[in-house]
Structure 1
Amino acid sequence: MSLKTHYDLLFNDAVESIKNDTYSIDSLIESPSDKRFGITLLARPPIEIKEAIQEFLNEVKIVEPKQYYYNNTDIHITVMSIISCYNGFQLQHVNIEDYIHLINESLKTITSFKISFEGITAASSGLMIQGFMEDNTLNLVRNNLRKTFKTSHLEQSIDKRYTIQTAHATVLRFKAPLNNKSEFLKLIERYRTHNFGTFEVDNLELVFNDWYQRKKFVKKLHKFNLY
């Protein structure tokens, strides 16, 4: 299945869930009792791409102001969830230098690569910017990580929830019922193929993070430069 087909299927399913009121409202977004943390390898788009995304989100806010919108500091592409967020995980549970070493091994033949943010897609829980890779580099990174961690003794949960294959960035989550479904659906349809820009990924970050990658909880553990 092509990436475009995958995004199309996600979008169509999400639209149906919105029309039928079967979309998911996240009750934990602002809950002080949410203690889900993990470790993620991610890429961040540059500021000009983020600003283009915020222009879109500002339009959505007018229609649906009560939803959860990602700040520029939190927008990212998940390269790999090394340890998927779960209740009670703490950084002192692991030796982070061991993780840095394995990731360095996985990246030693990897050069920078480009991602194009073209259009939006959706899920039953929110909206995402569609990311498309210009070559196979991101898939190679992920496969290298799978192979490297598979033979290690380190705690990890790679592909335990699902096998990651996209390059999307989540930018909105539903935290309240939609009050203007019709206008909301019209707006996201209008941005379905909108070009947010293309950028080069020349570094990756390993971070300790909460479920939503909020800046106040994220701790950068290491930066991997790609040449």
Structure 2
Amino acid sequence: MDLASHYTNLFTESCEKISNDNYVIDTQIDNLNDNRLGITLLIRPTEEIKNSIQLFLNELKKVDASQYYYPNSDIHITVMSIISCYEGFDINNITLQDYIAVINKCISGLNKSVIKLQGITASPSAIMIQGFPSDTSINDLRDNLRTAFKQTTLEQSIDQRYSLFTTHLTVLRFKNPINNKDLFLKLLHKYRDYNFGKFEIKKLELVHNDWYQRVNLVKHLFDFNIK
């Protein structure tokens, strides 16, 4: 299935679930004892694009301010969850340089792709911005990472939750029942094809992160510059 069709199917199915109150509320967001941590390779969009996203989120907040909205500092595209977040993960138990070495080999030859952020989609638990890369570089890198890490004995959990092939940005998670549901859905449809802009990938970041990539809990580990 192509990326646009995948996003469309997600949006259609998720809006139906929202309409029927079958969406998923995340009960962990405000849990101060949530210590799920992991390691992620990610891309951050430009400030201009993040500000464009906030205009959309500000409209949603006027309809329902009770949900979890991502601030600019936390907005990202996940390239790969190297170690998916779990309780008890201790970064001191791994050798970080080994991970950096594997990623460096995989990233060699990666193009400076452009990602266009066009429209929104949804899941039963979140609202996302649709990303469309200009070439196959990101998914080629993902395949290289899958192969490379499987050939090592390093701790990793790649694809254990699902096989990632999209370049979306999660910008809202449901943490309460949706207020003004009809108006909320109407606003989602308004932004279904909205152009949030595009940006060139100049670097990838390796971070030690919590489940939500909150800036106060994320530790920057390494930058991989795209030449």
1:173 corresponds in structure 2 to 173
Task: Tell whether 2:109 aligns with 1:109.
Answer: yes
Partners of 1:206 and 1:23 lie apart in 2 by 31
Q: Deviations over 1:24-75 (max 9, x none)?
A: 0011001012111000000000000000000000000000100000000000
Partners of 1:135 and 1:203 lie apart in 2 by 16
Matches within 5 A, 1:61-210: 61-210=61-210
5+ unaligned residues in a row in structure 2: which ranges? none
What residue identity is the alignment partner of 1:3? L
Q: Alignment partner of 2:160: what SS?
A: coil
1:19 corresponds in structure 2 to 19
Q: Deviations over 1:6-34 (max 9, x none)?
A: 00111111111111111000110010121
Post-superposition shift, 1:168? Answer: 0.1
Partners of 2:189 and 2:111 lie apart in 1 by 35
Partners of 1:120 and 1:170 lie apart in 2 by 10
Q: Alignment partner of 1:23: what SS?
A: coil
Q: Deviations over 1:136-190 (max 9, x none)?
A: 1111111111111110110001111100010000000000001110000000000
Aligned residues: 227
Task: Tell whether 2:220 aligns with 1:220.
Answer: yes
User: Contact 1:111–1:202 (CA<8 Å) still a contact in 2?
Assistant: no
Give TM-score scaled by structure 1 length: 0.99
Backbone CA RMSD of aligned residues: 0.6
1:56 corresponds in structure 2 to 56
Q: Alignment partner of 2:7: what SS?
A: helix
What's the % identity of the aligned pairs?
55
Q: Deviations over 1:114-155 (max 9, x none)?
A: 100000000000100000011111111111111111101100
Consecutive aligned runs of 4 or more in structure 1 exceeding 4 Å deviation:
none
Task: Tell whether 2:44 aligns with 1:44.
Answer: yes
Give TM-score scaled by structure 2 length: 0.99
